[in-house]
Structure 1
């Protein structure tokens, strides 16, 4: 059970990092185009 919770936490963190990375990429692209 604890392992499952930890894995869920990791997955959520990975998802969050991906969102942050995508946002950063969009910002960089916006800077490139401006």
Structure 2
């Protein structure tokens, strides 16, 4: 058997709500500027 994800739950993608994504992007931008 090849190495990888065999469980369908492990393959599931997760997406943040727009406001949470905006917060994460602001935090990332701050880290880059430092």
Normalised-by-shorter TM-score class: 0.5 to 0.7
Moved over 3 A (4+): none
- The Cα RMSD (Å) is 1.6
Which structure has the bigger radius of gyration? 2
Calculate the TM-score normalised by the size of structure 1. 0.52
Gaps of 5+ in 2: 1-15
Number of positions where the alignment pairs a residue of Structure 1 with one of Structure 2:
19
Gaps of 5+ in 1: 1-7, 27-34
Calculate the TM-score normalised by the size of structure 2. 0.52
Residue in structure 1 matching 2:20, options 12, 22, 28: 12
